[in-house]
Structure 1
Amino acid sequence: MKSIKINITLLFFLTSFLGFAQQRNNDETGYKKRVLETVEVDILSSYYTQDGDNAAVTGGRGTEELTDATGTIIISIPLNEDDVLTIDAGVSAYTSASSSNVDPFDGRRQADPFVASSGASRNDVWTNLTASYSHTSDDRNQIWSAMASVSSEWDYFSLGFGGGYTRLFNERNTELSVNGRVYLDSWTAIYPFELRPFTPGGNGLANGFFLDNTITGNTAYNPQFVPFENEKRNSYNLGFGFSQILHKKVQGSLSLDFVQQRGLLSTPFQRVYFADVADSYVANFQLADAVEQLPDTRFKIALGGRLNWFMSDRFVLRSFYRYYSDTWGIVSHTANVELPIKLSDHFTVYPSYRYYRQTAADYFRPFESALSTEEFYTSDYDLSKYVANQFGLGASYTDIFTKARLWKFGLKRIDLKFYKYDRDTTFSSSIVTIGFNFEVY
């Protein structure tokens, strides 16, 4: 159950490194400068923690405690003057009190939505491998790219592929780009433990679990549960970009992204409790009335804009805004501002602030608010209405001459960043990231 919060933060972190590593300028004398002079290696790692009281695994009530440690290595290899091959490999290991309660009845602790189980679903490892290739034209005004990726986790496997094209105009003061990606995912549907006896051939209340445990409350437990037939999910992404140098100190850009998803968009192990069904318990744990049911299609659109103002040799103001909407009824607004302050030729600090606000999905229902007569329902608070604030502080060391060297590796850059994220619910998280950029001789 890879957290989306981690992925968003790491995306911006990785982007800053790749932007630093890739160069595509050409000498005016006719000398054809290489797109990338030497092999470059980025080593990135992060440590993420979160907590809250609205776990979707336990129907919108329960611990959201999670920790995650991620390591990534990115190797950019110049194949010739024009072509670059990039290999991106990452491993993420997490421990989740929330997902541990997919099976809270492991017998080691009394089942409770606010207490972590010690079952197998408590820990997992996510792995990813991505290869990308880019070709730049002789005049350095056109770039073609292609990528392929594979990733896996305990309950899903994903294949991805895509490509892009970038065109520079107006003495490279104007840039247009288009890119597309396709992800083909396969779920291994894992259901809450108490619902498994109700799968075909599971014997229902005659199963050993219910014979060995006493149901309290509504003893005529009869969940509204049918296993998902389709365990595939396909995502199709199309993005457009426009960048313009507006002034010698001002640069702006616009982006437009479309995402179409089809297939299993519900998370099979996320419980839902109905308001019109009497509660059933084993120990302190309320038995699921159903698992979340969401439409099998979702269309997303996002429009973003950036404006960077180089105020002086020491100060740069970076601003970003994004509008997002989808067919599930979510509308969100994101505003971000970052102020890099150059303390010296080598050291820069990056204070930042991010504001986020979204409406609730049409199908979101808080704990015990959904009705059994509804077609779609979820108690995942990621789909609820909320406002979030994130404060960040980063520091970087840059040495383009790579004076610090270890064997054949010359250190070009170190980045260290910390982000603190809080919603107006009980959810909060923090992440520390560190990255090293090396040039290989």
Structure 2
Amino acid sequence: MISIKNTLLIILILGVQQAWSQDEEQTYKKRVLETTEVDFLTSYYSQDGDNAAVTGGKGTEELTDVTGTIIVSIPLNDDDVLTIDAGVSAYTSASSSNVDPFDKGEADPFVASSGASQSDTWVNLTGTYSHSSDDRNDLWSAKFSVSSEYDYFSLGFGGSYTKLFNEKNTEISVNGNVYLDNWTTIYPFELRPFGEGGVGFFRPDEITGNTNYNPSFSELDKTNRNSYSLGLGLSQILHKNVQGLISFDVINQQGLLSTPFQRVYFSDVADSFIDNFQLADDIEQLPDGRLKFAVGGRLNWYLNEIVSLRTYYRYYFDDWGINSHTASLEASVKLSDKFTLYPSYRFYNQSAADYFAPYESHLSTEEFYTSDYDLSEYSANQYGLGVSYTDIFTKMHISKFGLKSIDLKFYQYDRDTSFSSSIITAGVKFVMD
């Protein structure tokens, strides 16, 4: 028979052993992020077309943009990560330069002017804090962002929650974001005297066509725009080689949803010109509310050790009358242990917004109107090719940082409204030793 003394000794040993095991589990718990990671991203974007919204749906859409971004992810402890994302984007635009087409030389919607609106710089700073539970089945995150450019300022707040269960085979997520934006209203140059209560246009002796240029223009009474979004997602491992995801998103926007410097020309108003440039009849006018919905699905298929496929489909609709379909396919082709190739294709089709009409097709009696071809009916195709270099052992070093990966991608985008664009992106990831 075991004595009381021996029983107490066994209980003590088992208790110490359990505490030791728990302490050992906590000591060797896998960190969410092992060490600080730094990403350097850059891109060059170029576009052109013949339907500039700044000049009422007719004119050059030429634009170039160069972007640089740095993302730093810092592990605060085993469970928490702080990510700081800072970016700068500088562009030159022949289209937006024609906000004031009369500053120099002969005015023409297909020729860039040299005014202040020809170029601009956008800056952004985003901070994200994320926390994972001990069993890594719960993930919380919160973020704050601020961005600014010449005529625009934005504050953003957001957060997300992700839950994994069913032995991590199932994942549900919810995220929400709020953006509080404010415009500095910049109007087409020829409309400014009328909006300010002036006595007339600044160069009346140079007007041809309808020389009695007198637009019924009034300044906008709102300069803010608030956006609220909510997203839901469900991911499921369907097979050892197949993973599926469905998502639902809703966005509610309120405030100034039109762009103050985008012109509109009416078919029932006689045309007025200076040089080859038609003077605006009004600016774009759109409702002060918009509700957007999107339902999407992804299916990722691991074929073998060399090839994986990623498919995606999304259906979108809003209360402005736009319905759209997006479908894409990307393949991951492993060329070696370190190099992977990413060919891709994306198709997009949308119907026109209720308030869209081409150049000089609107009537002055309408309440809302725009000639922005982003709101028109169109179809588009995008072709992409990327290559990635990955070294999990980070053999190459710069000071205390080891090179983990390099990514290069190229995309060509064409739509059937004469618009086309291309973008080259590059990314380099370093980890701290």
In the alignment, what sits opposite 1:91? 88
Alpha-carbon distance between aligned partners in 2 of 1:92 and 1:255, rounded to the nearest angstrom: 30
Q: CA deviation at 1:204?
A: 2.1
DSSP-derived class of the 1:340 partner? strand
DSSP-derived class of the 1:172 partner? coil
In the alignment, what sits opposite 2:355? 363
In the alignment, what sits opposite 1:150? 146
Q: Does 1:133 align with 2:129?
A: yes
In the alignment, what sits opposite 1:45? 42
In the alignment, what sits opposite 2:321? 329
Q: Does 1:76 align with 2:68?
A: no
Residue-by-residue CA offset, 1:352-380 (whole Å, 9 max, x unaligned): 00000000000001000000000000000
- Aligned partner letter, 1:78: P
Matches within 5 A, 1:274-313: 274-313=266-305
- Aligned partner letter, 1:262: Q
Alpha-carbon distance between aligned partners in 2 of 1:199 and 1:382, rounded to the nearest angstrom: 27
DSSP-derived class of the 1:329 partner? coil
Alpha-carbon distance between aligned partners in 2 of 1:264 and 1:96, rounded to the nearest angstrom: 23
DSSP-derived class of the 1:100 partner? helix
Q: Does 1:217 align with 2:214?
A: no
Alpha-carbon distance between aligned partners in 1 of 2:178 and 2:168, rounded to the nearest angstrom: 30
Alpha-carbon distance between aligned partners in 1 of 2:304 and 2:78, rounded to the nearest angstrom: 34
Q: Does 1:63 align with 2:60?
A: yes
- Aligned partner letter, 1:367: Y
In the alignment, what sits opposite 1:192? 188
- Aligned partner letter, 2:101: P
**2:169 maps to which of 173, 181, 184:** 173
Alpha-carbon distance between aligned partners in 1 of 2:199 and 2:427, rounded to the nearest angstrom: 53
Alpha-carbon distance between aligned partners in 1 of 2:133 and 2:25, rounded to the nearest angstrom: 17
**1:396 maps to which of 366, 378, 388:** 388
RMSD: 1.0
DSSP-derived class of the 2:203 partner? helix
Alpha-carbon distance between aligned partners in 1 of 2:198 and 2:173, rounded to the nearest angstrom: 53
Q: Would the alpha carbon gap of residues 73 and 315 (structure 1) be closer, same or farther in structure 2, given more than 3 Å must change?
A: same
Alpha-carbon distance between aligned partners in 2 of 1:89 and 1:42, rounded to the nearest angstrom: 11
Q: Does 1:231 align with 2:231?
A: no
- Aligned partner letter, 1:210: R
| Count of aligned residue pairs for this structure pair | 409
**1:253 maps to which of 242, 245, 249:** 245
Q: CA deviation at 1:157?
A: 0.3
Show structure 1 runs of 5+ residues with no match.
1-27
In the alignment, what sits opposite 2:16? none
220-229 or 415-424: which moved more? 220-229
**Post-superposition, which runs of at least 4 consecutive aligned residues in structure 1 deviate over 4 A?**
none
- Aligned partner letter, 1:64: E
Q: Does 1:243 align with 2:239?
A: no
- Aligned partner letter, 2:298: R
DSSP-derived class of the 1:73 partner? strand
Q: CA deviation at 1:199?
A: 1.5
TM-score when normalising by structure 2: 0.93
TM-score when normalising by structure 1: 0.92
Q: CA deviation at 1:79?
A: 0.4
**2:99 maps to which of 93, 99, 102:** 102
In the alignment, what sits opposite 1:18? none
In the alignment, what sits opposite 1:320? 312
Residue-by-residue CA offset, 1:34-60 (whole Å, 9 max, x unaligned): 100000001000000000000000000
